[in-house]
Amino acid sequence: MWARILATAYLAFDFLFLGISEPDRAGLKRTVVSERFGATLRITENSGICETIPGVHTVSGYVDTGNNQNYWFWFFSARQNTNAPKIPFVVWFNGENGPCKVNSDKKTTTLNTHSWNEVANVLYVDQPISDDFSHGTETTMTSDGAALLIWQMLQAFFEAFPIYEGRELIFATEGYGGHYGPAFASFFDTQNAFIRSGAIEGEIITISAMMLNNGWIDPAIHYAEYPTFATELHMVPDSVITKANSYLSKDGGCLDQIKACNAVGGSDQEKNVYIPCTGDLDPYNIRSKRPDPLPQS
């Protein structure tokens, strides 16, 4: 997935961590161990890759847990007013909005002036395990299981770099993040309650906001609205809308196939369920026919 993202445009690699306000420590490699949470950070600070604006602190590397799960991350401090307390801290679980774009030679980069770290401290997290640079022998198959690892990561991070602790914290994601994003936030709320009660140790980490872009939540709801969406935008003739609504609700149609797919908990049948429900338009870019891996902006 990440290889495709890098090839398309924005270098947000897969992820790294933050650092402290010492931008002169170029290329410094070090290991930070968090004894309380069983997490180890292996980081390189200010590598000079991708982000080239002076004074922006970057940290890249891995957070390792005792279960042989190694998450890759990349942190970029805000380009504007880096150390101001009001600068928010954003955790982004996907790609596409990083500080640079990959040039056509696939070896050099160009600064992205629209990067999210123009106005926020941004931590990119490469997940799940086995996705690109993140690796390990233990994989996480549930959103709740992944939430624990993200919680451990941020606990270790803020312990190592308290300068960023206590800021407005925003979880941001897209696509399947419509499932795991809310699960992560709920898990953090539960952990905060345990910390307040003294049941576990840790720092209170409050999620102040969540951003979901094209969140994948329930296909039965999403696909049922496609004909309405197409009607409002006058995308296709009325005859096509009538046919789409008929296929959606008829016996053995789109909604029935979605229910059957959910009932088996995932199988090869899924590959064929959604195509007839959506036609040949790309739902992420209705100007294009699917598949369009490199749509024009």
pLDDT of residue 270: 53
> Out of 3.40.190.10, 3.30.420.40, 3.30.70.20, 3.40.50.1820, which CATH number does the structure's domain 2-213 have?
3.40.50.1820
The CA distance from 123 to 268, in Å, is 35
Q: State the pTM of this model.
A: 0.78
pLDDT of residue 262: 79
Residue-wise pLDDT tens digits, 95-116: 778 899 999 998 899 999 999 9
pLDDT of residue 7: 32
pLDDT of residue 114: 92
Please give the average per-residue pLDDT across 26-47, as a whole number: 75
The CA distance from 51 to 190, in Å, is 36
Question: Quick one: pLDDT band at residue 199, thresholds 50, 70, 90?
Answer: very high
Could you tell me how many helices (H) and strands (E) the chain has, helices first? 8, 15
Question: Quick one: how far is CA 233 from the chain centroid?
Answer: 29
Q: Which two tokens stand for residue 74?
A: 């990349």
Domain borders along the chain are: 2-213, 219-289
In the chain, the percentage of residues whose pLDDT exceeds 90 is 26
Query: Residue 18: is its pLDDT beyond 50?
Result: no
